[in-house]
Amino acid sequence: MTKEEIIQKLDFKKCKGLIPVVVQDAKSKEILMVAYTNSVALEKTLSTGYAHYWSRSRDKLWKKGETSGHTQRINKILMDCDYDTLLFIVEQKGNTCHTGADTCFHNQVEVASTF
């Protein structure tokens, strides 16, 4: 599929212009983060091979690692069955989280057992 075909296939309208992206480490298979992409950020990702996202808080395009150097090189991109979520499988350079953690998912929630 071409870049244009991939972008057209995704249901950006259903997601109000922003598609959620789950990011997974290619080696460890650990979930690193969740971010959002729009058609411009996705085109940049597909063109460069590095993860680009749309920042909802800053209302702008950003390349992961543009200030920290902790970049994400794309190994593979998968679309879900509804074409409204993406999975980026990446080679993470450095930490993922802005807190310095390896993953953004480091705050464990205790759940009572109901079994």
- What would the pLDDT profile of 20-72 be if each residue is shown by its tens digit? 999 999 999 999 999 999 999 999 999 999 999 999 999 999 999 999 999 99
The mean of the pLDDT values for the chain is: 94
The predicted pLDDT at position 111 comes to 87
Spatial separation of the C-alpha atoms in residues 85 and 76, rounded to whole Å: 14
Q: Identify the pLDDT of residue 90.
A: 98
Question: How many Cα atoms sit within 13 Å of 103 on the Cβ side?
Answer: 16
Domains observed in the chain: 3-92 (3.10.20.810)
Measured torsion, CA atoms of residues 67, 103, 23, 65, in degrees rounded to the nearest 10: 10
Query: What is the pLDDT at residue 10?
Result: 93
